[in-house]
Structure formats: structure tokens, C-alpha cells
Amino acid sequence: MTDMELIARWIPRFLSDHVLVERNLSKNTQRGYRDSLELLLFYIARKCRKPIDSLRLSDVTPERVRLFLQHVEQDRHCSVATRNQRLAACHAWARFVGSNHAEYLGWCNAIRSIPFKKAAQIPRDYLEKAEMDALLSAPNRETAQGRRDYALLLFLYNTGARADEVARLTVNDLRLHDSQPYVRILGKGNKVRQCPLWPLVVRQLAALIVDRASEERVFLNRRRQPITRFGIFTAVKRCASKAGQTMPGLLNKRISPHTIRHTTACHLLKSGVDINTVRVWLGHVSIDTTNIYAEIDLEMKNQALRHCEIFEKVPRKQWKGKHGVVEYLRSL
């Protein structure tokens, strides 16, 4: 067995050299690849009854990868989307190995030939205007945490930003004193987009960052440490639970920071903003991603339906002169 055949040689090179240095992928993608390959290696090691450090590339057969994906769905009770994410990591790793060593091109093609599984499209939850207003009314603005939560919800709704993007936001990213205040958001693929801010959001953020240095994070937790995306998720859930006491319909929806992102997109479309502007607003690379939001609003569909509604023609009654005019009018 040559050193090149050992999996232990390829995993660090893939994650450190390729994913981090060559491609500079986001931390979430790095963690996703890392976790997927870790699960795969533990599974293969159990199947082969070998230590992980002794595994060879030839141990990772297409059949074992398929069994691993089946294990992800059936034993770990993961969704089809998660199954496909694990497979995407396997594809990327195999492509890296094949592109760096021609001897393993056959193995690479065999792994990459495993298809993704088609998943049913589940309608995405979003909030109607009254529901969003109820959510914004939930935080107790008499407390520091409540003021932070209110500013956080407003910012999420204004910008449609992802939780991870909001967690990374620094004071230097805010342009609150410009003639048109805006925020710089670092999104997926290290792409920067600019989003205008409502005057109400500007006031709330200005009060939140008083005496903060430019490199400090905008949103902090109760310990004055930078809030994480999990902390943002918890804050949104806490406010949604409280809002559900006055608007019970909210309790039937799975509300998260991403739900507010969907809400922003739907409300922009309903207000007449063109879909390409919404794409730029949300930081989507492809307009196909944004088109999802054009599919989920029943009110917009009903409005479109009314434009082409067909009405049954009712034959007009003819006056044949057999009765008087008054009798004719009363018969209509």
C-alpha cells in the first residue's frame, strides 16, 4: 500500500489547502464539509473494521457511500436536503483527489456518479404584515435585552439578512450618518452587498452602538459578547413565543431568522418591487433562487387570477311587447 492510497493523506489537504486556501469558502461550508467527511469516515471504518488512519481510498466504494447516505436518512433521521449536503461534500472531496492524482480518476468518477436525491419542495413559511407587527411588538423595550431584540428584529426585517450575516456585522459596516443610511453586508462567497435602512432602524441601531469601537460587533448577548447565529435564532423564537400569546396563528408556524428573510422577500414583491431588485437585496447569485418567493404568496396568485377570470354570460331578457314596461322592469 502506498502513502498516496491513505485517506489520512487526502482529508487534511482537501480541508486546509483546497477548501480554506484555494477556494476560501465560508466557515459554514468548511464546517459542513468537515462534519460530512467525519461521519463518512466513521461509517466506513465500522464497515471495514479498521482504524480510520488505516483506511484507503479503495475502501470508500460507491456502494458504501450509498449505504452511508441511506444511514444518514434512515438511522440518523435526517432530511433529504441533509443527505444531499453530505453527498455534495463527498463529491467535492472526490473531485479534489481526482484532479490532483490522475491514478484515482476512475475512483473519482465512480463517487461523483452517485446522484443527488430529488426532494419535495415544501412551501416556506412567511409572516403576513399583521403577524410581523405582532412579532415586532413582542420585545419589552424597557429592558436592555428587549431593546436589543427589537433592533435585531427590525434589522432582520429591513435587510432580509441571514442570521450568520447579522452575527458578523460590525459597527464599521453601518453607515448611519450618510444622506441615505445603509449597511454593508458580507454574504455568501464573501460577496458584499449594500442595503438601505429605514429611519426607525437607524435610530434603534444608533442607540445600540453608543460608545462602541468600529471593529466591535453590532449585536451582543447578555454577557456583552458577540451574539452567535444560534443566539439570534433563540432571540427570534423567544419573541415569536411571546407574540403567539396575542396572535395564536403564530404558534402554528416555525418562525426563525430565515422566516423573517422570507417575509422580507414576499413583502417586497407584494409592494411591487421587481424580482431582480429583490434578488440583489437578498444577495442571491441566481434569480432562480428568488423565484421561489413568487410562488408562495396566495394573495398575489389570487390577484393574478382575478385579471383573467372568466364570467358566465347571462342571456339578456328580450322585451317582446306582450306586457307593459313596468312588468318587464320588475321581471329583470
Known catalytic residue: 317? Answer: no
How many Cα atoms occupy the beta-carbon half-sphere of 295 within 13 Å?
9
Known catalytic residue: 261? Answer: yes
**Catalytic pick from 148, 168, 217, 258?**
258
Known catalytic residue: 162? Answer: yes
Sort strands 174-175 and 182-186 into parallel, antiparallel or unpaired.
antiparallel
**Catalytic pick from 83, 162, 193, 267?**
162
Q: Which three cell numbers stand for residue 194?
A: 449594500
As annotated, the active-site residues are: 162, 188, 258, 261
